[in-house]
Amino acid sequence: MRDSASDPAALEPLELLRVQRSRLADRMRPPWWYLPGTAIVWALFFVGPFASRSFASPASVSTWAIVIPIVGVCFALQWGMTRAIGIKAGPRPLRLLRDGLFYYRPGRPAGIAIAVVCFAALGAEASLIRHGLPVAAIAVAVLAVAANVAAMQALQLAVRRDLRDGGWTA
């Protein structure tokens, strides 16, 4: 075992590990169907206010009829992506305690953006439907789907960056 601080060859493993982590992160690119899949999930999510029984529309359905397909598609997407890329990265904390200080992990802004878009768009849609402006509500839903798909892309990018930087070991 090399144990000398003056031996520059001892650093080769760290440099090699950086290259290998970069290779692993590059592999973590979602397959082509992942993006349309996330768009379908968010479309189902933002259709909720239109189909909800609380607005007593003729086409109203139970909340479960919306929630169950969303959860099902989410699981199918995650399962398919894990099998396609060979890497499973589950939910991760958005902040990390290191040397007594909290550090925000990459992906936090995207996570916050998704939550904000969800609350704002659902509120706006409900309000517009109540005021008899369904076309405006549809426009809000379309914009919200686009925003959240973009935020999901940013989140994926941040997870890849975190993997490249070493995650917990950085």
Partner 1 sequence: MDGVTAKPDPLIHPITRLSICGLLAAGADWVEFAALRDAAGVSDSVLSKQSRVLEDAGYLEVRKGAVGRRPRTWFRLTPEGRRATQGHLAWLAQLEEAVSASTQDTLSMSLASISIRDASET
Q: Which stretch binds partner 1 (CB under 8 A): 5-13, 35-43, 64-72, 150-158?
A: 5-13
Give the Cβ contact number of residue 52 at 10 Å. Answer: 18
Q: For partner 1, give the closer residue by CB, 28 or 43.
A: 28
Q: Smallest distance from the beta carbon of 3 to partner 1, in angstroms?
A: 7
Spell out, one character per residue from 78 to 117, where the chain touches partner 1: x when CB under 8 A holds, - when not: ----xx-xxxxxx-x----xxxx-----------------
Give the Cβ contact number of residue 53 at 10 Å. Answer: 11
Give the Cβ contact number of residue 7 at 10 Å. Answer: 10
Please, is 115 exposed, middle or buried when counting C-beta atoms within 10 Å of its C-beta (0-12, 13-18, 19+)? exposed
Q: Smallest distance from the beta carbon of 159 to partner 1, in angstroms?
A: 8
Is 48 within 8 Å of 137 (Cβ atoms)? no
**Cα dist. 109→22, 33, 45, 106, 114 in Å?**
23, 25, 21, 8, 9
Q: For partner 1, give the closer residue by CB, 99 or 135.
A: 99
Q: Smallest distance from the beta carbon of 40 to partner 1, in angstroms?
A: 23
Torsion of CA 122, 123, 126, 127, to 10 degrees: -150
Among 13, 31, 123, 134, binds partner 1 (CB under 8 A): 13
Q: Smallest distance from the beta carbon of 66 to partner 1, in angstroms?
A: 29
Residue 163 touching partner 1 (CB under 8 A): yes
The encoded tokens of residue 112 equal 């916050």
Residue 72 touching partner 1 (CB under 8 A): no
Judged by the rule CB under 8 A, the positions of this chain that interact with partner 1 are 1, 3, 5-8, 10-11, 13-14, 16-17, 20-21, 23-24, 27-28, 82-83, 85-90, 92, 97-100, 159, 162-163, 166-169
